[in-house]
Structure formats: structure tokens, C-alpha cells
Structure 1
Amino acid sequence: MACIIFTDLDGTLLNGETYAYQAALPTLAQLTEQGIPVVPVTSKTRQEVAQLRHDIGLRDPFVVENGSAIYLPTVPTRFALPPGDDRDGYRILQLGCNYVTARAGLKAIAQDLGRPLKGFGDWTVDQVVQLTGLSPEEAKQAKAREFTEPFMTPKNVPPERLRAAVEAMGFRVVIGDRFSHLIGAGAGKGPAVHQLVQLYRVANPDIATVTTIGLGNSPNDLDMLDNVDYPIVLPGAHGPHPLLADRGWPIAPAAAPEGWAMAVAAAMAAAPL
């Protein structure tokens, strides 16, 4: 039997306000020693995650832009490498559309709604800094989109109407309080989880059972949390997100990163590994 940990980043592994992760480092080191993969599953870009992996010392695959692509290190790992292109030391498994298609889709959806929809591609680095609070270097990495377009969630447009307009154009949307993400029809954190479990099974045919643990903090993570064996909700400073609090899932005893470490320890103790 084996285990894979899938985790969101901001507000889950990283503190939602300070982006601190130091309190999780001992747990991450222990997981590495036990041979348990820790897979970031995030809305962030490849550039953002690659920098963080380097800072924290992660070595496993990662999922970017809301499940639009999986990046697998081409060096030997516990996951099989699917057919595909290599870039910067990673094998790329693309699940969603490319960025040009997403940008064109956003314009078409805006025209259909009769409302302007502005996304990261419309803003300068300085404007992204002002809108998000990121540093200039972080904003530059966040603008390095390859598959999806984050856009300002339109006011006075019901979520149902926005979702219907998006789906009519052949896309999916992850609706957020401030920013929403336009993604390809085949993308999603859930599909990415299933792809990685399958690649793990291919690389480890002698393992009968693969147990999956998922950690997230927002509705953006529902697609991942719904597709793991042990979903865990990370609370923010004011408690868990209302849309995740009443699903019967365990809620970590503290915010990230301390809560992440405690929740992983509890899940590892409870899971039949």
C-alpha cells in the first residue's frame, strides 16, 4: 500500500497572509524520507511553482493552473512518464487548452455577456502588483500563463449565467470571490489527481492500493478534495471557508502552515497505510 499527498499552496501549505511555510518543513522532510510524494495542485503558473519547489525542496510532480497541466520531473521519480514534450527538465501532460485559446475565449464570453471581462493578459506587471499585492517578480511569474486566464469576477452577473456562457463556448470556469479562472474543458484538479494516481500505478505495479490525501482551503479546491480518499480543509484566520465547512470533512486545527503539518500527521495516523 502507498500514499500520495495532493496539496493546494496559498492558504493551505503556505500561510494565506505571509506565505510562510517553515513550520511544514519537518513534516515534508519526514514524508520525503518515507517515500511519500507531495504533489502541489494549484492555480499558480509553472514559474511560480518551480520557484517554490526549489525554495522548499520538493521533488515530485506538480499540477498548475487549476489542473490544466501536470509537470513531471524527467529525472527518475515514483511516477511513470507519459508520452509528451519535455521542457526545462519536465515532461508535460497537458489537460486543458493553451493560453492563446483561453484569451480568445474570454473575449468571446465577454461579447456574449455584453460585459467587459479583464484578465491578467490585459494588465501590466505593475497593475497585477496593485490588484494582488504580489511583488513585481511574483507578479511577473503570475502573468506567465500557459493554459488559463484569470479574470476579474464580474459584478452583477449571476454565477449561473457566467458559467452557462463559459460552457456554451466550450470552456470551464472556476469562479472566485475576486478572480475567476477560465480553463479548458478537459482541465481540472480532479482529472489531474486521477491522471497522477494512474501514472503512479504504472510505475509501481506491485502496489495493490494507493491511498490519496488532499488538502485545500477554498472552493477552488473542491474538484481535488472530491477526488481523494482523505479530504482535509485548512481554515483561514477566521475559520474554514463556508462552502467547505459543512461537508463533513476534517478541518485542520490551525491555519497554514502549522495546521497543514498537524493535519497531515493526523491523516497519516488514520489512513490504513
Structure 2
Amino acid sequence: MSRLVIFTDLDGTLLDHHTYSAEPARPAWEAAQAAGVPCIFNTSKTRVEVEQLQEKLGLHEPFIVENGAAVWFPGDTDLPLPPDARPTDDLYCKLLSIPRTEILEALNPLRGRFRFRSLSDMAVNELMERTGLERQQAILALQREFSEPLVWMDSEDALKECIEALGALNLRLVRGGRFHHVIGAGDKGQAMSWLLAVYQKAFGGAITSVALGDSENDLNMLAAADVPFLVRSPVHAPPTIPDRPDVCITSHCGPEGWAEAVTSVLEQAGIRHP
């Protein structure tokens, strides 16, 4: 196997759906880190959420936020940055979507046609109740820059109409573990492919991309990966990935399933736990 790069969803995949703990996966990500295998977060979470999580887990890698909307690089990265990467708060940002303000403007006319509640309508306490996040984590989750989560309160037929209406505005509506997310034209798969090209340039050799996710908003990332893993969820059935009969579905849920998948890939590459 060529050099590995791991891309992973967070909520429901590396993080437990209910507790948001990643501890069962710690031995696997530490083994990857010790072997020099990058572990890239590709998530619907915000920049500030991911920064805090990386610090907690002892990781220092680029990361993709808000369902593929932007790629953030550490300020001291050795990777070749694109000319349009902009410095922000000791990080560099490659924007792949549009600002949240434009998304909110596009949603305003749709509020009369469809029944939904957006994140911008919610106070911290409501978000805590809906997600189980602690207060500080909920505050970070509200600090979105490039997307808008929705609680869909209308019918499935209305959802299809809303998707068409947003598509006419070059926006997408994707289903996550708890919310539907309105984002720009990009997705997790396109962001992963873009960042893989950066690693290809840096490594100068063949790369095997591994992707792990659990929800519909992960499908583009999983479909674009060399080695896709669907991590089982305790709250919904594994979604179908079209034209990828090789997808592996873990036996366990959440971080236990994540560890199961990553351990198998590392062992195949001759990397074992310390």
C-alpha cells in the first residue's frame, strides 16, 4: 500500500453520537500519528470547534470544516499553500464555498414556503437541548462561517422542493446526523480531493486515501476515497454509496467502529499499535 492519508467525519464517527467522546479510538489514532499518517478531520463542525478538539486530542493537522466549505492549515504547516490561502488567527484558510451571510440571505425568501428552523434562530440553550452539547461546545457550534444547519419540520416532498429551490441558487442541502446543512456548491469529497492534491505535491509519491463517515453528508467523501469505511450509527442505518460495492461497514458504532476500521488499515500497511 502507498502512503496513507486518513480523512474522517467527527460526529457519530470518530466521536460518539451521544457523548461526543473519542477515547475508544485513541490507540488507533495515536498509532497513525506515530507512523506519520495524517488524520484529517472532514466535518460539519466549525473552525473553532475543530481547533479545540485537535488541541484536546493532541493532533496538529490541516482540517476541513462545514461539509467541505473551507480547508484550514496550521500556521506552521510544511505543506505547500495555494497562492490564495489567506492568513487568519495563526491559521491559513483556503475557501471553497461562500460566506454564511450569503446563505442566510438566500434562505430568507424560503421561510414562507417551507417549515424549518435554522441555527441562526436558536439560542445556546436550545442548541444544547437539541444536540446534548455542553454550553461551551454549543457556543462554539454557533460560530459558523460558511454554512447553515436546519431542523427540517416539513414533509419529504417539501424537502425535495427546497433542494430544487436551493439548487437554482447554486446551494446544496445535505442531511447530517442531526441537521440538514445548507452549503455552497462544494462538498466533503471535493474538499478531500483538493487537499489530497496538496499532500501529493508534498509527498511526491503515491497516496492511498482512507475515508470514514456515517451519514449522508459523508457520501461524496466516501465515494471519492480509495478505501471507504461506513461507521455504524446507533441512530440510523448505514446509507448506500452508489457504485462502491467495496465499501466496508464496521461491526461497531462510533469511535469503536472507527478504531476497528483504522486498525485494520494500519495493520494492512504493516503498522501496529505500540
1:160-213 deviations in whole A, cap 9, x for unaligned?
A: 21210110122111134752111012x2101101111111112222x1x11000
Deviation at 1:236, TM superposition (A): 2.1
Aligned to 1:165: 165
Residues 173 and 181 of structure 1 are in contact (CA less than 8 Å); yes or no, is this contact kept in structure 2? yes
* CA distance in 2: counterparts of 1:3 and 1:183, whole angstroms: 29
Deviation at 1:237, TM superposition (A): 2.9
Aligned to 1:45: 46
1:101-138 deviations in whole A, cap 9, x for unaligned?
A: 01111113334xx2344211111112222222222211
SS in 2 for 1:254: strand
* CA distance in 2: counterparts of 1:246 and 1:216, whole angstroms: 17
Residues 109 and 169 of structure 1 are in contact (CA less than 8 Å); yes or no, is this contact kept in structure 2? no
1:63-83 deviations in whole A, cap 9, x for unaligned?
A: 100000000112134x32122
In structure 1, give the amino acid aligned to 2:164: A
1:22 equivalent in alignment to 2:59: no
Aligned to 1:139: 138
Aligned to 1:100: 101
* CA distance in 2: counterparts of 1:99 and 1:256, whole angstroms: 29
Aligned-residue sequence identity (percent) comes to: 35
Residues 100 and 148 of structure 2 are in contact (CA less than 8 Å); yes or no, is this contact kept in structure 1? yes
Residues 107 and 117 of structure 1 are in contact (CA less than 8 Å); yes or no, is this contact kept in structure 2? no
- The answer for unaligned runs of 5 or more in structure 1 is none
In structure 2, give the amino acid aligned to 1:129: M
Task: Tell me: CA distance 1:86–1:99, structure 2 relative to 1, closer, same or farther (3 Å).
Answer: same
SS in 1 for 2:232: coil
Work out the number of aligned pairs and report it: 267
Task: Tell me: CA distance 1:201–1:37, structure 2 relative to 1, closer, same or farther (3 Å).
Answer: same
Aligned to 1:63: 64
In structure 2, give the amino acid aligned to 1:236: S
Residues 4 and 210 of structure 1 are in contact (CA less than 8 Å); yes or no, is this contact kept in structure 2? yes
* CA distance in 2: counterparts of 1:171 and 1:245, whole angstroms: 22
Task: Tell me: CA distance 1:133–1:23, structure 2 relative to 1, closer, same or farther (3 Å).
Answer: closer
* CA distance in 2: counterparts of 1:212 and 1:189, whole angstroms: 13
Task: Tell me: CA distance 1:239–1:254, structure 2 relative to 1, closer, same or farther (3 Å).
Answer: farther
Point out the structure with the larger strand share. 2
Task: Tell me: CA distance 1:235–1:178, structure 2 relative to 1, closer, same or farther (3 Å).
Answer: closer
Aligned to 2:120: 121
1:179 equivalent in alignment to 2:179: yes
- The answer for unaligned runs of 5 or more in structure 2 is none
TM-score with structure 2 length normalisation? 0.90
Task: Tell me: CA distance 1:164–1:243, structure 2 relative to 1, closer, same or farther (3 Å).
Answer: same
Residues 173 and 180 of structure 1 are in contact (CA less than 8 Å); yes or no, is this contact kept in structure 2? yes
Aligned to 1:224: 221
- After superposition, where does 1:195-210 map in structure 2 within 5 Å? 195-205=194-204, 207=205, 209-210=206-207
1:10-30 deviations in whole A, cap 9, x for unaligned?
A: 111111122221122122121
Task: Tell me: CA distance 1:99–1:239, structure 2 relative to 1, closer, same or farther (3 Å).
Answer: closer
Q: 1:212 aligns with which of 209, 216, 224?
A: 209
- After superposition, where does 1:80-91 map in structure 2 within 5 Å? 80-83=80-83, 84-91=85-92
TM-score with structure 1 length normalisation? 0.90
SS in 2 for 1:231: strand
Aligned to 2:262: 264
* CA distance in 1: counterparts of 2:209 and 2:46, whole angstroms: 23
After superposing the two structures, state which structure 1 stretch, 66-75 or 81-90, moved more. Answer: 81-90
* CA distance in 2: counterparts of 1:214 and 1:231, whole angstroms: 5
Deviation at 1:220, TM superposition (A): 1.4
